[in-house]
Amino acid sequence: MTEIILVRHGQANSHAKDEASYDRLSDLGRQQATWLGEHMRRTNPHFDHVITGTLNRQADTARAMGYEITNQDKRLNELQYFPMAEALESQHGTPYPQSVSDYVHHLPVLMDHWQRDLLDGIPERFDSFTTRIITLIEELCGAHGRVLLVTSGGVIGMVVRHILALDNGAVSRIMLQIMNSSLHRLHFVHDQLMLGTFNATPHLDAPDRAHARTFV
């Protein structure tokens, strides 16, 4: 059996307006990752492979968890939200979100336009994004052992979409609920990929850590 543990990076720079500025952990994000690493070492600390994307916030989360990275794979990198949001505004008149509430309504619209290939001049097409993620997951399913993947919410959403055959509206709602430093467990058994755990945050369950349960 292959077990794959997906972890979303800790809270990043939530006030950023571009990809480069967003790609760093906040102090809280580092603390979330540290707490998660402590929890995992108390429960089942061994991984045969620890793989992150090439983004700073992903690699820094793994390091804050206390793990040595064995490989970085750009297929785990997040969708590039900011240039797509700019394209959606300039080409279709959908304004850039100014608040968390705006973002909740904005993401499903962006995902719909992206899937239908209605955005020009963006860094990556929807089909390319989904293909690279699923290709990596299928490669890992062919190997035995336990793998930790530190990645981002959009990537995790696409993996869940693949396993459960969800439409894009459902995927948007899932992505909006994926918490920073959350844990998602996959099992490849009987030639099938199963979702065992979604959006778990056992390291944040204590009442005095309620402030650390963040989505952005």
- Break the chain into its structural domains and give their ranges: 2-79+127-212, 81-123
Measured N-to-C along each axis, helices 168-177 and 100-115 cross at an angle, to the nearest 10 degrees, of: 150
Judge residue 162's burial from the number of C-beta atoms within 10 Å of its C-beta, 0-12 exposed, 13-18 middle, 19 or more buried. middle
Tens digit of each residue's pLDDT (9 = 90 or more) over 53-73: 999 999 999 999 999 999 999
The amino acid that residue 200 corresponds to is A
Tens digit of each residue's pLDDT (9 = 90 or more) over 28-44: 999 999 999 999 999 98
**Res 143 pLDDT > 90:** no
Lookup: tokens for 32: 């979330």
Candidates 2.120.10.70, 3.40.50.1240, 3.40.228.10, 3.90.800.10; CATH matching 2-79+127-212: 3.40.50.1240
Q: Please report, to the nearest 10 degrees, the dihedral formed by the alpha carbons of residues 44, 31, 214, 74 taken in order.
A: -70
Interacting residues of 126 by C-beta distance below 8 A, sequence separation 6+: 114, 115, 117
- Rounded to whole angstroms, the Cα distance separating 72 from 76 reads 8
Of the two residues 186 and 144, the one the predictor is more confident about is: 186
Give the residue-averaged pLDDT of 145-169.
96
What's 136-185 look like in SS3?
HHHHHHCCCEEEEEEECHHHHHHHHHHHHCCCHHHHHHHHHHCCCCCEEE
**Res 170 pLDDT > 90:** yes
Q: Tell me the H-state helices in 23-167.
A: 27-43, 56-65, 81-92, 100-115, 126-141, 153-164
Of the two residues 15 and 4, the one the predictor is more confident about is: 4
Residue 100 is predicted with a pLDDT of 86
The amino acid that residue 73 corresponds to is D
Residue 1 is predicted with a pLDDT of 84
